[in-house]
Structure 1
């Protein structure tokens, strides 16, 4: 059994990565339907950076201290369900912050077994695959032979989406930085272009936007029956971006839609099947220990990330 206290990462004001600090907090007690997990790894996500910096005040509130971390890979300590046994390696994510800690209690239906092919850091790098699956398969309904454009083809979600789009039979065009064009092709992009100067792009059936800026410019690249899914927004003008998406989400053609990530066991099982089939592979840019999570946030803010920034516990 774990101790009654544990180390966790908190912050007591909005600001740069330096506001993150390690502290001692009570070890969570799992409630009905929850699993207590000893955390081994987690990923760093753009939304967390926006929350920590205070750029999402309408959503994040003013109560402190706050916790950080939304996904995890770890070992089951208290199963809480017949689906798991003590020691099982599981992965998952939720809407409640706090996975940057030694232990975390998470609803059982947001967890599944990690594929045997992956170690904890690799698994953490792939958890954004849930977003990619939801965007391409469930929202855009990507079909074989369609033309897919991915903005940010080698980033935290884009690197999985590039592989997934190719596995789903699409013709994939990836936009990335000049230094990452080779990686985009390795991941499966049929065409890899420098996002700073892509030239004439043509028309696309589906666009996955992981950037959040210039949405209208890219919407004009959609075919008559094209669909755009936006999973990021311009942090300098969040209301403008959200308003644009809302105004265009109900269009019968050339629509733009967004969604909030919702990791569930069935989606994690789908991701596992892609991994086991060898169609989606992990990509860890850098791994930091929990005590250096501020450096992990700083690395993601500096940009140019290839795959995922991971924190190991």
Structure 2
């Protein structure tokens, strides 16, 4: 059996726990396709997983793998798959609750993929699958953002935030972005009508808003207070050290008052990836990349993200 390169870790711990090793190359089973991964990217939840903060989900069996974003081409088509062919350019993600895209190959069901957007190379495309579909779900599907509404994006320079600024503009909203001082020019370039340094512009200096997208997970009550009557807020981040406190706040907000806070567990499949590709092909959304690392540089990407100040995504080039 042939082998492939993959990023692994044998213990929970710091970024240094990550290393490039080898695993048996997978094959496409019935109802699966084998994707040759050109690139993947690092998402925030993977840092918590590696650090051991999500043990109830990730368990204690090692070695463990990392990354979920997929951008590549079909290398093999399993039985019962008819609409994809070898050589097709695709993007998507591993199924919910699984990791392993930081590898040369990954076998997934076709529902986890769509055709990659035309006009964007696969390394750049890898910055978008999870953060892009998260932004679409949050703003379009959960908030129901409408043209002319006032949107606040908190954490606007990060992976989800940088897409949300662009999508908010595409949906016709007036977008206010909160980001670090060094990223204010970036979020303005992405389409923010207003950009504020989160260190000097707290919630008391802002508002009101029809919609708030929070990617930080702290001070939720204060930012909820910025909502106009009937306003909607989605929080996609939580304090991994205090998950019950975050969950309790979300639940209480749905029971009391008109300013409701929503959360969701992302599980994007074919339709969402196809919708995202359409936004990219129209020019409404573009990848925002901080740094491109080799496969052996996943640990470096984790360290950079934990240090803060990220602008967009850290991408891992495999091919």
Counterpart for residue 121 of structure 2: 119
In angstroms, what is the RMSD of aligned CA positions? 1.3
The separation in 2 between residues aligned to 1:195 and 1:276, in whole angstroms, is: 32
Match 2:106 to one of 90, 97, 104: 104
Q: 217-226 vs 25-34, which deviates more?
A: 25-34
| Residue segments in structure 2 that go unaligned for 5+ positions in a row | none
Would you say how many aligned residue pairs link Structure 1 and Structure 2?
A: 311
The separation in 1 between residues aligned to 2:273 and 2:140, in whole angstroms, is: 14
TM-superposed deviation, 1:152 = 0.8
Q: Secondary structure in 1 aligned to 2:273?
A: helix
Contact preservation (8 Å) 1:121, 1:284: no
Counterpart for residue 289 of structure 1: 294
Match 2:58 to one of 57, 60, 79: 60
1:8-87 alignment to 2 at 5 Å?
A: 8-80=6-78, 81-87=81-87
The separation in 2 between residues aligned to 1:251 and 1:120, in whole angstroms, is: 45
Which consecutive aligned stretches of 4+ in structure 1 deviate over 6 angstroms post-superposition? none
- 272 and 174 in structure 1: CA distance in 2 versus 1, 3 angstrom threshold: same
| Residue segments in structure 1 that go unaligned for 5+ positions in a row | none
Q: TM-score, normalised by structure 1?
A: 0.96
TM-superposed deviation, 1:205 = 0.9
The separation in 1 between residues aligned to 2:183 and 2:3, in whole angstroms, is: 43
The one-character-per-residue Cα deviations of 1:19-52 (angstroms, maximum 9, x if unpaired) are 0112221111222221100111001000000010
Counterpart for residue 183 of structure 1: 186
The one-character-per-residue Cα deviations of 1:231-280 (angstroms, maximum 9, x if unpaired) are 11113322211221222234462111111111211111111111111111
Contact preservation (8 Å) 2:9, 2:18: yes
Q: 152-161 vs 58-67, which deviates more?
A: 58-67
Counterpart for residue 209 of structure 1: 214
The one-character-per-residue Cα deviations of 1:157-200 (angstroms, maximum 9, x if unpaired) are 10001000000000100000011111111111111001111162
- 283 and 24 in structure 1: CA distance in 2 versus 1, 3 angstrom threshold: same
The one-character-per-residue Cα deviations of 1:69-88 (angstroms, maximum 9, x if unpaired) are 11110110113322221111
Q: TM-score, normalised by structure 2?
A: 0.94
The separation in 1 between residues aligned to 2:243 and 2:286, in whole angstroms, is: 32
Match 1:155 to one of 158, 173, 193: 158
The separation in 1 between residues aligned to 2:198 and 2:254, in whole angstroms, is: 25
Counterpart for residue 90 of structure 2: 90
